[in-house]
Chains A and B, each alone.
Chain A
Amino acid sequence: MARFTKLTSHAVPLPAENVDTDQIIPARFLKVIDKSGLGDNLFCDWRYLADGSPNPDFVLNEPASEGAQILIAGDNFGCGSSREHAPWALTAWGLRALISTSFADIFKSNALKNGLLPVEVSDDVHRELMAAVQADRAAELSIDLEAQTLRCPGGEVVRFEIDPFAKHCLLNGIDQLGYILSFDAQITAHEQRHA
């Protein structure tokens, strides 16, 4: 898994609440057997008009969004389907961190396994951040995972919470399956106990 330590980037503001994984990557693009190509269809139905041309009103299509590695979205981001195609599409587009007031459970777990950091902030911080980024699209945010801090464009530094194990895995690029497999003997013992 890709390591995540520090990140400084401008951000894409997406103020919608309850952005579900069907919006992040619509089901008709799930007919793939690998992980490639999903970035082109990220937010497809918001991003493109009926004739297939880019929707100029959608934030991802604004020139200021180019190269952004952080997305700031509304509450309960990633609800709905368990498709890991959602974080695959977000990272393929170039995103490395997401900021919201909350994330849906399965989405959060999927994001963390793909080096995509979900940062949860309070309502107040979220409101200020969203406003600051909307006012100045070039404004930069900095995330320091080790310190669990987010530096806002105004210079204010806020702390965020993250599961300590998920943090450990992200910082060191640790793959969780390797960790699970290290308990092979205990798994076998469990199977024998419950046979």
Chain B
Amino acid sequence: MTEPRTLFEKVWSDHVVVEEPDRPAVLYIDLHLIHEVTSPQAFSGLRARGIGVRRPDRTIATMDHSTPTLPRDVALAGLDVLAKKQLDKLAANCEEFGIEVFPWGDQRNGIVHIIGPERGFTQPGQTIVCGDSHTSTHGAFGALAFGIGTSEVEHVLASQCLLQRRPKALEVRVDGTLMPGVTAKDIILGLCAKLGIGGATGHVIEYTGSAIRALDMEGRMTVCNMSIEAGARAGMVAPDETTFAYLEGRERVPKGAAWDEAVARWRTLPTDPGARYDKTVTLDASKLTPMITYGTNPGMGLGVTEPLPTPDDFDDPSERAAFEKALRYMDLEPGKPLLGHPIDVVFIGSCTNARITDLRAAAGIFAGRKVKPGVRAMIVPGSHEVKKQAQAEGLDAIFKAAGAEWREPGCSMCIAMNGDHLEPGQYAVSTSNRNFEGRQGKGGRTFLASPLTAAAAAVTGEVTDIRTLLMS
């Protein structure tokens, strides 16, 4: 009998091409996603070496990071020359090397981690990489998916392989039932707060437990997306009926008999009983409340009704210094609750929370309410497909009637390199994944939260416990 193996071990060993003693493994990559920001130098490298792309058929390109989210005609007129150069470069590189690209404005375009699953490129058991740390999103399907640097983008373009040391396996077991108003985003923010920003460094997380099983695919993607914020290389969820139901019939998944074969193969992926992880951490979903971050990394989070820590809560002097530095940047007082703190901007978007279920959740709060005067609320769908679906359901009308902006798809204010950004000193409640200093615009201050909590802040103009709105 073979040793029981984890989901991660199965996917890993299935992709090892060579592993020599004392050398990292040569790992085969099934799907390579590229975008305009981290790929140009990789293509230049290929050209300098005089080599081509080994598997253009396993490479997909999109434009998302530097694309404006204004209507295309308005945006084109004001498009930054540098952004335009980057977009043109990606188009030219894809043309030269025969790579399929979903350009800016194309109906199949969107944020790289939204369109991969949406079009069915992302499938269980695959290895997936992209020059973007939130590639961990795709792990929700039971794929091993992680972010890489530009040198590695070049490696994969040239060889379809990467050199990798085998990471350790961390089980994050989330059991219990979420209370109303508590979502997948709160699970992952809760985990980041528990592990800290570097807590899972060197590990691949497998999320297990009844609360993970109960999530739909979009919720699982939200959880896996932010695995990197705890330092993990990747996050994975074993595929199950929920996974197969999501994928069936999508554009790029196998059809007919090939579909049945694929599902049969995918059913062998879940971790075998008795398989061992290097470490296990547990989280009780039933005890979670709506989460929000107060500081300048995603691990600095708490329940929305809890008071901020004080310097005395930190024994370690450098942790205390980091906490004090964060509070200075955020201009917040220790020991005070965040609840009721006025905000300027609400951003609902990004690869973490800009899928249709996220927009439905937000629309449920905006319906029949108005954005608080003085607050700017931006709703940025993750892809054209999401936008189309939201419009078909009339969600755009709800957002607009409430006084929120309904934008074109893209990374938008998550990364603030496309025209959408905070002004210095502004406070935002954002559904994105990073609250680093200046991440959403120089001097901007970010509170990360779920789409429900973000929508609640938009209508009240302050940090709000969504549960109070759900009851009223």
- Cα distance A26–B160 when bound, in Å? 30
Cβ–Cβ contact A114 & B26, under 8 A: no
Cβ–Cβ contact A35 & B26, under 8 A: no
Q: Looking at the complex, which of A14-22, A55-63, A90-98 is the stretch in contact with chain B?
A: A14-22
Cβ–Cβ contact A18 & B322, under 8 A: yes
Closest to A86 in B: B149
Cβ–Cβ contact B17 & A176, under 8 A: no
Closest to A87 in B: B149
A104 contacts the other chain (CB 8 A) = yes
The 8 Å CB contact of A18, one of B37, B154, B197, is B197
Cβ–Cβ contact A180 & B197, under 8 A: no
From 37 to 60 in chain B, residues with beta carbon under 8 angstroms from any chain A beta carbon are 37-38, 40-41, 44, 49, 54
Closest to B162 in A: A180
- Cα distance A138–B114 when bound, in Å? 50
- Cα distance A110–B158 when bound, in Å? 17
CB neighbours (8 Å) of A9 from chain B are: none
A183-B149 in contact given A17-B318, A104-B201 (Cβ < 8 Å) = no
A164 contacts the other chain (CB 8 A) = yes
A76 contacts the other chain (CB 8 A) = yes
From 69 to 93 in chain A, residues with beta carbon under 8 angstroms from any chain B beta carbon are 74-76, 79-84, 87
Cβ–Cβ contact B83 & A31, under 8 A: yes
Closest to A20 in B: B436
A84-B38 in contact given A31-B417, A110-B149 (Cβ < 8 Å) = yes
Interface string of A129-155 (1 = CB under 8 A from B): 000000000000000000000000000
Cβ–Cβ contact B38 & A83, under 8 A: yes
Cβ–Cβ contact B319 & A17, under 8 A: yes
CB neighbours (8 Å) of B38 from chain A are: 82-84
B336 contacts the other chain (CB 8 A) = no
A157 contacts the other chain (CB 8 A) = no
The 8 Å CB contact of B442, one of A15, A45, A181, is A45
- Cα distance A104–B160 when bound, in Å? 24
The range of chain A's interface size is 35 or more
B289 contacts the other chain (CB 8 A) = no
CB neighbours (8 Å) of B154 from chain A are: 177
B133 contacts the other chain (CB 8 A) = yes
B439 contacts the other chain (CB 8 A) = yes
From 287 to 331 in chain B, residues with beta carbon under 8 angstroms from any chain A beta carbon are 297, 318-319, 321-322, 325
Cβ–Cβ contact A15 & B318, under 8 A: yes
Cβ–Cβ contact A27 & B416, under 8 A: yes
- Cα distance A26–B321 when bound, in Å? 23
- Cα distance A163–B23 when bound, in Å? 9
Cβ–Cβ contact B197 & A109, under 8 A: no
Cβ–Cβ contact A28 & B416, under 8 A: yes
CB neighbours (8 Å) of B40 from chain A are: 32-34
- Give the most central of B146, B322, B438: most A CB within 10 Å: B438
- Give the most central of A16, A28, A82, A109: most B CB within 10 Å: A82
A180-B26 in contact given A81-B133, A83-B38 (Cβ < 8 Å) = yes
- Cα distance A50–B443 when bound, in Å? 10
Cβ–Cβ contact B18 & A105, under 8 A: no
Cβ–Cβ contact A82 & B198, under 8 A: no
The range of chain B's interface size is 35 or more
Min CB distance B185 to A, Å, is 18
Cβ–Cβ contact A84 & B149, under 8 A: yes
CB neighbours (8 Å) of B321 from chain A are: 15, 17
Cβ–Cβ contact B41 & A33, under 8 A: yes
A158 contacts the other chain (CB 8 A) = no
CB neighbours (8 Å) of A186 from chain B are: 17-18, 26
- Cα distance A165–B201 when bound, in Å? 20
B124 contacts the other chain (CB 8 A) = no
Min CB distance B28 to A, Å, is 5
Cβ–Cβ contact A16 & B322, under 8 A: yes
Interface string of B429-450 (1 = CB under 8 A from A): 0000010111100100000000
CB neighbours (8 Å) of B151 from chain A are: 84, 110, 113-114, 176-177
Interface string of B5-47 (1 = CB under 8 A from A): 0000000000001100011101010000000011011001000
Cβ–Cβ contact A17 & B322, under 8 A: yes
CB neighbours (8 Å) of B49 from chain A are: 177
B255 contacts the other chain (CB 8 A) = no
A180-B161 in contact given A17-B322, A20-B297, A32-B82 (Cβ < 8 Å) = yes
CB neighbours (8 Å) of A181 from chain B are: 158-159
- Cα distance A190–B25 when bound, in Å? 14
The 8 Å CB contact of B44, one of A34, A79, A102, is A34
B202 contacts the other chain (CB 8 A) = yes
Cβ–Cβ contact B439 & A79, under 8 A: no
Ordered by A's residue number, 14 sampled pairs between the chains whose C-beta atoms are within 8 Å are A22-B438, A27-B65, A27-B416, A32-B40, A75-B198, A76-B201, A80-B133, A80-B228, A84-B151, A102-B198, A104-B231, A177-B155, A186-B26, A187-B17
Contacts from A to B (Cβ < 8 Å): 15-18, 20, 22-23, 26-28, 30-35, 45, 50, 74-76, 79-84, 87, 102, 104-106, 109-110, 113-114, 163-165, 176-177, 179-181, 183-184, 186-187, 190-191, 194
Q: What would 8 more interface pairs be, CB under 8 Å, given A32-B86, A106-B148, A110-B149?
A: A18-B297, A27-B415, A50-B424, A75-B318, A79-B297, A102-B201, A104-B201, A190-B17
| 7 closest A-B pairs by CB | A76-B198, A110-B149, A31-B82, A84-B149, A33-B40, A82-B147, A84-B150
